[in-house]
Amino acid sequence: MTIQSINPYNNKVIAEYQLHSPEAVEDILLKSEERFRQWRNTGFEHRASLMLKLAKVLKEESENYAKVISEEMGKPISQAIAEVEKCAWVCEYYAENAASQLADEEIETDADSSFIRYEPLGVVLAVMPWNYPFWQVFRFAAPALMAGNVGVLKHASNVFGSALKIEEAFRKAGFPEHCFTSLLVKSDAVASIIENSVVKAVTLTGSGPAGSAVAKIAGENIKKTVLELGGNNALIVLEDCDMDRTLETCMNARFQNTGQSCIAGKRLLVQDSIADEFVGKLVERVRALKSGDPGDRETYIGTLARQDLAEDLEKQVNDSLNAGAKLEIGGRREGAWYEPTVVSEVTSDMVMFQEETFGPALCVTGFTTIEEAIALSNDSKFGLGVSVFTRDVEKVVKMIPMFEEGAVFVNELVKSDPRLPFGGIKESGYGRELSANGIREFVNVKTVYIRK
């Protein structure tokens, strides 16, 4: 069976891929397990040398890999290059820090010696989405492999080219075969892969229903999971903010990657006293955004990854407008392209406020006090992150415990950074990626107690 990859910008067929048969999947898993038995015994120094070589490959091939990303899911080429370069950063980070993050920890007890060891689990399955087809994979793969695990990837079916290029990058860097392998399968094959005894853990970035399905299967088979399931992040703009700086940050928070980001700022909450001025200036900046060919380095807004995604966004916007919201700018769709859009006078019961909008559409809601803003921010089934913009940083810091989120960013957009744990609460999922927390997700935390 084959599957085609379609360029969402021009609807041309990019490539056709032969799907792995169940027998081929079984063979890959068995070979991955065999590789793990060897890989787990390599030292951190050896793994780090390969990881640094991988970072070098990514930097050298950034434009080539970015072209694949851009063609497959419509990301503007300049942003795609930045994505690949960020992958090099996470490789370098774990090459430099994994040994200390997983070093034995001495614990003082009544034993003669007691300590904690961190040991790899085995074959880790990653089920990854299309919106950041390289970054999502590397933020799992770099820590997992540095910990001594091996990885198998089930990527989104519209970015199989990216999946194969990632595998190619590992091989170019000198990683042994089956340290990292891409499985070209459809979503209906995931359940049997999780159930396979070779797979010891699963990480998924994707939708709530997908996360729920994976967690159920993994739970039935007693396997560890990490889930990152999206968000509906608020951008809280207080009246004492640095307006120009805040405008620029909010623009990037909502519209980079054509708005197709879990951590995008999707709900703009603006204090009433500055709302008219702020929204007016925001609309002018949105009007200046360049849409067009994702392959053009000047393009900021590309297409959505598929036409049905643009249609879904169009419906969410129209539902909110029909409920009484006001269209400030945008609202047009052509195929997979959706015009950068701002919708104001959105109330908390409207679709754009309660649902995750995955595309270049921003809803605006007013508030009077910061306490009201926090309540509005928390009025969501998601809890991935929130951004607050103010000059009175100390006041906001005191209120951080009130936010029901995995991350609070002050005067900055929510972003992933290898040095900081990344993940959410509520229906945004559980577990953490990146930092020391991320590398310890897929290890056996082994207690050792010795009496002489």
Same domain, 28 and 55: yes
Q: How far apart are CA 60 and CA 91, in angstroms?
A: 14
Q: How far is CA 392 from CA 218, 248, 399, 404, in A?
A: 45, 19, 12, 21
Number of Cβ within a 10 Å radius of residue 361: 24
Render each residue's pLDDT in the chain as its tens digit; 452 residues.
999 999 999 999 999 999 999 999 999 999 999 999 999 999 999 999 999 999 999 999 999 999 999 999 999 999 999 999 999 999 999 999 999 999 999 999 999 999 999 999 999 999 999 999 999 999 999 999 999 999 999 999 999 999 999 999 999 999 999 999 999 999 999 999 999 999 999 999 999 999 999 999 999 999 999 999 999 999 999 999 999 999 999 999 999 999 999 999 999 999 999 999 999 999 999 999 999 999 999 999 999 999 999 999 999 999 999 999 999 999 999 999 999 999 999 999 999 999 999 999 999 999 999 999 999 999 999 999 999 999 999 999 999 999 999 999 999 999 999 999 999 999 999 999 999 999 999 999 999 999 99
- Total domains in the chain come to 2
Both 307 and 441 in a single domain? Answer: no
Contacts of 35 (CB under 8 A, 6+ apart): 150, 176, 177, 178, 179
| One domain, residues 410 and 284 | yes
Asked whether residue 205 falls in the same domain as residue 83, the answer is yes
For residue 395, tell me if it sits in a domain: yes
Whole-number pLDDT of residue 405:
98
pLDDT value at residue 401 = 98
| Residue 363 annotated to the active site | no
* Residue 167 pLDDT: 98
My answer on whether 191 and 64 are in the same domain is yes
Q: What is the pLDDT of residue 209?
A: 96
Q: Reduced to 3 states, what is the DSSP secondary structure of residue 293?
A: coil
Greatest Cα pair distance in the chain: 75
pTM of the model: 0.97
Assess contact for 54 and 173: CB atoms under 8 A: yes
Q: What is the CATH number of the domain that holds 254?
A: 3.40.309.10
- Give 378's Cβ-side CA count (13 Å radius): 12
Catalytic (active site) residue 228:
yes
Confirm whether 350 is domain-assigned. yes
Does some domain include residue 28?
yes
Residue 14 within a domain: yes
**Catalytic residue chosen out of the listed positions 33, 71, 83, 228:** 228
Do residues 6 and 85 both lie within one domain? yes
Model pLDDT for residues 97-131, shown as the tens digit of each residue: 999 999 999 999 999 999 999 999 999 999 999 99
**Within a domain: residue 33?**
yes
Task: Count Cβ atoms within 10 A of the Cβ of residue 285 and give its class: 0-12 exposed, 13-18 middle, 19 or more buried.
Answer: middle
Are 52 and 164 within one domain?
yes
In angstroms, what CA-CA distances link 250 with 133, 254, 273, 290, 406?
Answer: 24, 6, 18, 17, 19
Domain membership of residue 121 as a residue range: 2-229+428-450
C-alpha span between 419 and 230 (Å, rounded): 21
Q: Tell whether 423 is covered by a domain.
A: no
What is the C-alpha to C-alpha distance for residues 236 and 213, in angstroms, rounded to an integer? 33
**Whether 208 and 338 share a structural domain:** no
Q: Do the domain assignments include residue 365?
A: yes
Q: Which of 262, 328, 405, 427 is catalytic?
A: 262
CATH number of the structural domain spanning residue 215:
3.40.605.10
Residue 422 lies in a domain: no
Separation of alpha carbons 431 and 223, rounded Å: 13
Tell me how far CA of residue 37 lies from CA of 114, 148, 280, in angstroms. 26, 9, 60
| pLDDT given for residue 356 in this prediction | 98
Determine the Cα–Cα distance for residues 26 and 351; give it in Å rounded to an integer.
43
> What letter does residue 366 receive in the DSSP assignment?
E
Same domain, 28 and 160: yes
pLDDT value, residue 391:
98
CA-to-CA dists, residue 407 to 80, 144, 232, 410, 411, angstroms? 25, 23, 13, 10, 13
Overall residue count recorded for the chain in this entry: 452
Q: Are 299 and 292 in contact (CB under 8 A)?
A: yes
Q: What is the pLDDT of residue 316?
A: 98
Place of tokens 């309540």: 375
- 44 and 23 both lie in a single domain: yes
Same domain, 211 and 255: no
Claim to verify: residue 60 and residue 12 sit in the same structural domain: yes
